[in-house]
Structure 1
Amino acid sequence: MQVSVETTQGLERRLTISVPAETVDVEVKNRLRHIGKTQRINGFRPGKVPPSVIQKRYGQSVRQEVAGEFMQRNFVDAIVAEKLNPAGRPSFVAKSNEDGQPLEFEATFEIYPDVVLKDLDKIAVERPAVDVTEADLDEMFETLQNQHKTWKENKRKTKTGDKLTIDFNGRVDGEEFEGGKAEGFELELGSGRMIPGFETDIIGMKAGEEKTITVSFPDDYHAEKLKGKTAEFDIVVHTTESAVLPEIDDEFAKLFGVETGGVAALREEVGKNMARELNQAVKAKVKEQVIEGLLEVSELDIPAALIAQEVDVLRKQAMKRFADQMDPNNLPELPAEMFEEQAKRRVKTGLLLGEVIKVNELKVDEAKVTDLIESAASAYEDPSEVIEYYKTNKELAQQMQNVALEEQAVELLLASANVTDKKASFKDIMNPEGK
């Protein structure tokens, strides 16, 4: 076998490989001989078919088959000999595949880039310095109260926080429009469910009252025909109700499965959950900054084949999400361009973290894997069942090992990064956009 290597552009390589004619011809003849012994052909006794007939009928297809196998086999031998690491599948082109002639073919493919880790100390990270405070706990209990509130009918003027049952009928330029009419519609004032001005203009109305309000649809409204349009709505209020919050007592604690210890035990349990979620969120923010910094200080050519593979993965994931929510017959075509930037980022991140793992000879820390599984399981009603499921599911267990190894790489990068602690609140971390 003769091999020559050519760099075409960037990471692309072209191997020209020549396999001796004798090697190929012998294999072709052996296969044709086997066909002659086993194949039934009308007009000839089994095993007595003349070689010329076998050659005429099967020669070309057998040679193509043999050539394909030799191309695959010799390609592998060639990349091992030349110490090349292909990224993605090669494309083969046979240049010569005739009887008595060497099999000559080209294999074009991309290789993995040489990854060089440098300037890791220039990665800047702001690590949130934050704890769960008593005020955070108080606010969480208010949220829990609101989640279990009941409603009591009132006769007063409505205010923010009340729940109304209304009819409404909307018009734009004097014409009714799709989605602009409803009867017996329940609306909690202040929920932000309706377009700006709709809820605020109803405040102060009483049950039995009618009113016409004028509001404007936002310029970015989802319905094209209504963007920026002024609309009139006829409103009829049927009932108004006030929220009744439950008392924070032992009965309240039992709503959350705390049978003993009352409010104090519930407060301790909620505090632990908040601390766990806060810790996970802080770790995620730090990891995001480490990876962002790593990408910024690292220059790297990315194989197009790997990007294409990642685009395919992302597109399939998106299509699956759409399929869960839409009629499969109406699924949209999602162009590759939608996922290209995300795919590039993920591939580059994977290559860089892979190099960190390789250079530092990191091995999976089983204790970290256990911690990750237990942390994930703690969010479920029966953690032991979830832990057991991870242990018995090889694919999930492997995924968690990969996560652990990635976290180890991030921790190592963090150790050499430029880290400053920045004071933050629970709300800053858990609800940064005030949603």
Structure 2
Amino acid sequence: MQVSVEAGGPLEKRLKVTVPAEEVESTVSSRLRRLASTVRMPGFRPGKVPMRLVEQRYGDQVLIEAYDELINRTYSSAIAEQGLRPVGQPDIAIEASGRGQDFSYSATIEIYPEFEPALGEGELKRPTAEVGDEDVERTIQALREQRRTYETVDRPAALNDQVIIDFKGFIGDEAFPGGEAQGFNLVLGSKRTIEGFEEGIVGAVAGETRSVEVAFPEDYGNKELAGKQARFEIKVQAVMEPRLPEVNDEFAKSLGVEEGGVDALRQEVRENLAFEAERASRARMKSQVLDMLADANPIDVPRKLLDAEMQRLRETLGSQGQQQEPSAEADGKLEELARRRVILGLVISELVRRNDLQPDRDAVRQELERIASQYQNPDQVVAWYLGNPERLGEIEAMVLENKVVDWVLARAKVKEEAVTFNQLIGRDEVA
């Protein structure tokens, strides 16, 4: 076998492989002999058909099969001989063939880039935050809000009240489809309806009927109503004001704190917030590391990997209802994002390979249990992942990526930066 290599694009190689005629004939003869032992022809017992007749009838078919066998066998050897790492399957083109002749074919491939991963030289900022009493109280208040109830009152409706209403909408004097409801629950100030609707109910009392003029936005989802003036006839059936539970031992028990009352509840909230702060800090550090690696390694990427990643992104956007109309600008942004993701994948893989990093089994199990804890039946989720190698592989890849991030952080310049808890979790912008 003879192999020569020509360079195409930055990551494209064209291998030309020539197999001697003797090896071609040996492969063809071997296949013909196997076929002759089983082939049936009228007038001959199985296995007794003369080779001349077998070759006459099946020679062309066997020759094609022999070429397939030779390509499969010699391509792998050629790649190993040249020390190439191909991406995906090759594009094969037969250049010379025929009984009694050398067999030649070309294999055009893309290869993974060879590069020394750079870690970058910038300084990373590790945000840290202390959980204060105000953070604990704010969280407890949010828990109270989640358990809000409403009680009927005999007074005019105000913002944050819940009202029960009947309404009917009109464009001019004509009622429009979908603009009518009875017994509709609405919290005033929730912005569930178009601008002006909720404001028009403020001050109304139970039993009162109001006529409220509104304008549908130009970008309203229903094109028949978009940009039009409308009138709603609204009858208020009831006005209810919000009631929040008292912060006491009963409230603590409703949140699963059986012993220790309110003090134990506050301590548990504090610990949960501290865990959330640590996780948020970790996420920000990881984001910085990945950005640094992507910026420090502006490598060429194989087109096959780039196209596959763009397709995955399109499918993800589509599943999230964010599919966009095709355009040069949208495709350009998608390709830029896909290129960054491919670069990161290549850099991380290279760091893993060069430093012999392996996913920690305990870390994989811990991550798996964390994901499962978000579901109603965690044990079933864990069992599903363990029984699905592809999905378990995704968890292992995530853990391995985190291990690479830790490896980089151990070698990077990191400066701690004190922020508030709200800033850390994204409620405020960091100054």
TM-score by length of 2: 0.87
2:348 aligns with one of 343, 353, 360: 353
2:48 maps to 48
Cα pair 2:119 2:408 within 8 Å, conserved: no
Distance 1:279 1:377 in 2: 20
Matched, 1:344 2:339: yes
Question: 2:424 corresponds to which letter in structure 1?
Answer: I
State how far apart, in whole Å, the 1-side matches of 2:197 and 2:85 are: 62
C-alpha change, 1:14 and 1:359, in structure 2 (3 Å) is: same
Deviation at 1:205, TM superposition (A): 1.5
1:190 corresponds to which letter in structure 2? Answer: G
Give the partner amino acid of 1:253: A
**What secondary structure sits across from 1:166 in the alignment?**
strand
2:13 aligned partner: 13
Q: Distance in 2 between matches of 1:332 and 1:68?
A: 43
Q: Which position in structure 2 is the counterpart of 1:95?
A: 95
Aligned to 2:404: 409
The 1:173/1:278 distance shift into structure 2, 3 A limit, reads farther
- The answer to which of 337-346 and 209-218 deviates more is 337-346
Q: Contact (CA 8 Å) 2:422, 2:428: kept in 1 or not?
A: no
Paired residues of 1:12 and 1:109 also in contact (CA < 8 A): yes
Moved more, 70-79 or 199-208: 199-208
Please list, as runs of the form range in 1=range in 2, the aligned pairs for 1:384-403 lying within 5 A after superposition: 398-403=393-398
State how far apart, in whole Å, the 2-side matches of 1:430 and 1:332 are. 30
1:423 to 396, 414, 418: 418
Q: Contact between 1:120 and 1:413, CA under 8 Å: does it hold in 2?
A: no
Partner of 1:326: none
Q: 1:159 is matched with which residue?
A: 158
Which amino acid in 1 is paired with 2:406? E
In structure 1, the partner of 2:198 is: 199
Equivalent residue for 1:214? Answer: 213
In the alignment, is the contact (CA less than 8 A) between 1:28 and 1:62 conserved in 2? Answer: yes
Match of residue 432 from structure 1: 427
Q: How does 1:13-162 map to 2 (within 5 A)?
A: 13-118=13-118, 120-122=120-122, 124-162=123-161
Where in structure 2 are there 5+ consecutive unaligned residues? none
**Distance in 1 of aligned mates of 2:82 and 2:403:** 33
Cα contact 2:210–2:233 (8 A) shared by 1: yes
Partner amino acid for 1:206? V
C-alpha distance in 1, partners of 2:69/2:311?
28
Residues 246 and 198 of structure 1, relative CA distance in 2, 3 Å threshold: same
Counterpart Cα distance in 1 of 2:185 and 2:31: 78
Distance 1:366 1:136, change over 3 A: same
**Aligned partner letter, 1:63:** L
Q: Percent identical across equivalent pairs?
A: 38
Give secondary structure in 2 for the equivalent of 1:198.
Answer: coil
Q: Which residue in the other structure is 2:257 paired with? A: 258
Q: 1:111 to 1:381 in 2, by over 3 A?
A: same
1:83 deviates by: 0.7
Q: 1:325 — aligned with what?
A: none
51-60 or 5-14, which moves further after superposition? 51-60
TM-score normalised by length of structure 1 = 0.86
C-alpha distance in structure 2 between counterparts of 1:116 and 1:342, whole Å = 22
Q: Partners of 2:109 and 2:420 in 1: how far apart?
A: 51
The one-character-per-residue Cα deviations of 1:362-418 (angstroms, maximum 9, x if unpaired) are 344456446545655666788888778877876665544433322222123234445
Measured against aligned partners, the alpha-carbon deviations of 1:40-94 in whole angstroms (never above 9, x if no partner) come to 1234432333434322432222211221121121111011111111011111111
Structure 2 distance, partners of 1:275, 1:378, is 19
2:3 partner amino acid = V
AA partner of residue 269 (structure 1): E
Structure 2 CA distance for partners of 1:81 and 1:140, relative to 1, 3 Å: same
What per-residue deviation string (whole Å, max 9, x for no partner) do you get for residues 132-191 of structure 1? 211111111111111112211112111121111112223346554443322221111122
Alpha-carbon separation, structure 2, partners of 1:392 and 1:65: 38
User: Which residue type is aligned with residue 341 of structure 2?
Assistant: R
CA distance in 2 between partners of 1:278 and 1:380 (Å): 22
Structure 1's unaligned 5+ residue stretches are: 323-330
Once residues 143 and 349 of structure 1 are traced to their aligned partners in structure 2, the CA distance between those partners, rounded to angstroms, is 38
The worse-fitting range, judged by mean Cα deviation, of 83-92 and 373-382 is 373-382
RMSD between aligned residues:
3.2
Q: Which amino acid aligns with 2:133?
A: E
Decide whether the 8 Å contact of 1:121 with 1:416 is kept in 2: no
1:270-419 matched pairs, under 5 angstroms: 270-314=269-313, 337=331, 340-366=335-361, 368-369=363-364, 372-373=367-368, 376=371, 398-419=393-414
- Deviation of 1:227 (Å): 3.9
Q: Is the 8 A contact 1:281 1:430 kept in 2?
A: yes
Whether the 8 Å CA contact 2:162–2:187 is kept in 1: the answer is yes
Q: 2:100 is paired with a residue of what secondary structure?
A: coil
CA contact (8 A) 1:87 1:303 kept: yes
Report if the CA contact (8 A) 1:4-1:15 is conserved.
yes
SS in 2 for 1:88: strand
Q: Tell me the alpha carbon deviations over residues 116-135 of structure 1, each in whole angstroms, 9 at most, x when there is no partner.
A: 3336113x433322122111
Say how many residue pairs are matched: 425
Q: CA 1:285/1:249 → structure 2, altered by over 3 Å: closer, same or farther?
A: same
Whole-angstrom distance in 1 between the partners of 2:42 and 2:203 = 97
Greater shift, 66-75 or 32-41, is seen at 32-41
- Matched-pair contact (CA < 8 Å) for 1:195–1:217: yes
Are 2:241 and 1:246 aligned?
no
| Aligned 8 A contact 2:12 2:109 in 1 | yes
**Deviation of residue 265 (structure 1)?**
1.6
**Which segment is superposed worse, 420-429 or 194-203?**
420-429
CA 1:267–1:384 in 2, change beyond 3 Å: closer, same or farther?
farther
